[in-house]
Amino acid sequence: MKIVLKNLTKKFPNRSKKGDDVIAVNDFDFEIPDGKLIGLLGPSGCGKSTCLNLISGLETPTSGKIFFDDEDVTDLPPEKRGVGLVFQNYALYPHLTVRKNIMFPLENFKGDKKLDKKQMEEKALEAAKLVQIEALLDRKPSELSGGQQQRVAIARALVKMPRVLLLDEPLSNLDARLRLQTREEIRRIQRETGITTVFVTHDQEEAMSISDMIVVMKDGVIQQIDKPQAMYDDPKNLFTAKFLGTPAINVFSGSIMHGQVCVGEDPIMPIKHVENRKVYAAIRPEGFVPRERGKLKCELVGVEVMGRDTSIISRHSAFLGESNIRSIVSSDRLPDLTGKEVRFNVKPNKLFIFDCETEERIYFDTDTFRLPKEPPEEDGTDDEEDTETDIEEEGVTNEEE
């Protein structure tokens, strides 16, 4: 079932009476396609949980509408919407066994839908099997690990066959290993059930890895909606560019001067059709190509070898990040990194420039070659990147001659 949000806005009155209302969700207008897994991504306080609560019906919107398929559910209470919600802290009832916890939603059914005990037990077992906890049914939540508790919470949300599954930071309380496991599990369960799923997270890696689509939010405003890879490759503004990717994108204060993108004083790339102006130049870590006569001159700080890749840590006066520039290069073709200076060329498809005031992306054509506009693939990103590197390095060398 698809979910449609139309001009959805939620304002909270300011605590102090003088201030303006806080707009947690500002004019959301998008559609969540049937059977997809959507990640709502943003820093804390950006309104993503509020958005989830609006969809669930726990909060009522200030204005705007919510549709499940063609049905207007804006004024429906949560229980009539048919949503399952999984909370960050699981919210399992500590005094009930796992079985009773999973059966709890079923016991609320009234009228025709009312089930007898046997049917409830069957459904609970079914849900437990789906999340693979059927061996734990008679335990209390306190006797389970965090990951198991999370599965129980998901089973409880799924047992009444919701039309929409909502997950509020489902992995935040798990340790790193369990988080990886559980997120794959969530993906599997979502695929198996085909239930339209919305999940909230502040962890971009989490969102990137399992979502069909990501909605990036900041201060209650949607920044960009796209497929994970597309969003990474083509951020619409500086915020999205900075929010996605680990290590984070490297942002420099720069300018466009005489048809060149300049980082500080260094002209690093010729481009077409952009007038002189101040910009932010942002380069993905994998966008640096160390070359002896590279155009971006940086002070070398250190080298971290990570096997397949090497990260080169360096400094530049125009760098705006908090620590140092972090670039990731293939370990195969490393230049001599013993001196004080390291020089890079920059891959044109890994360089984004943004307007200094609006922080919106400025699109440009490079002089040397045109980016092949391919639809981004979800899997096998590594291979794709490698081929790109080859093409584009040729371009760079040609230009030098």
Partner 1 sequence: MKKNNLKSWLYLLPALLFLGAFMLYPLIDVFIYSFEEGYNSASQTSFGIGIYNYEYVLHDPYFLQALQNTFLLVIITVPLSTILALVISLGLSSIKKVRSLYQTVYFLPYVTNTLAVGLVFMILFKKTAYSDGLVNVLINLFGGSSVDFIDGPYWAKMFVLCFYTIWIVLPFKILILTSALASVNETYYKAARIDGTSKARIFFRITLPMISPMIFYLVITGFIGAFKAYSDSVALFGTDLNAAGMNTLVGYIYDMLYGDSGGYPSYAAAAAIILFVIVLTITVLNLLISKKKVHY
Judged by the rule CB under 8 A, the positions of this chain that interact with partner 1 are 56-58, 77-80, 83-85, 87, 89, 91, 93-95, 104-105, 107-108, 142, 156, 160
Tell me the closest approach of the beta carbon of residue 107 to partner 1, in angstroms.
8
Report the residue number, 71 or 341, with the smaller CB distance to partner 1: 71
Report the residue number, 196 or 240, with the smaller CB distance to partner 1: 196
Tell me the closest approach of the beta carbon of residue 84 to partner 1, in angstroms.
7
Report the residue number, 58 or 125, with the smaller CB distance to partner 1: 58
Tell me the closest approach of the beta carbon of residue 363 to partner 1, in angstroms.
44
Report the residue number, 199 or 344, with the smaller CB distance to partner 1: 199
Report the residue number, 91 or 300, with the smaller CB distance to partner 1: 91
Counting other chains too, the contacts that 60-65 makes at CB distance below 8 Å and 24 or more residues apart are 61/8, 61/9, 61/10, 61/25, 62/9, 62/10, 62/11, 63/7, 63/8, 63/9, 64/5, 64/6, 64/7, 64/8, 64/9, 64/27, 64/28, 65/4, 65/5, 65/6, 65/7, 65/8
Q: Which residues contact 134 (CB under 8 A, 6 or more apart)?
A: 125, 128
CA-to-CA separations, 215 to 42, 224, 228, 312, in angstroms, rounded: 8, 6, 9, 32
Tell me the closest approach of the beta carbon of residue 143 to partner 1, in angstroms.
12
Report the residue number, 96 or 274, with the smaller CB distance to partner 1: 96
Q: How far is CA 33 from the centre of its chain?
A: 17
Tell me the closest approach of the beta carbon of residue 90 to partner 1, in angstroms.
8
Which burial class, exposed, middle or buried, applies to 107 when counting CB atoms under 10 A from its CB (0-12, 13-18, 19+)? exposed
Tell me the closest approach of the beta carbon of residue 293 to partner 1, in angstroms.
59
Report the residue number, 67 or 104, with the smaller CB distance to partner 1: 104
Rounded Cα distance, 155 and 382, in Å: 35
Amino acid occupying residue 152: V
Tell me the closest approach of the beta carbon of residue 336 to partner 1, in angstroms.
57
DSSP readout, 190-202? HHHH--EEEEEES
Query: Token digits for 299?
Result: 């002070």
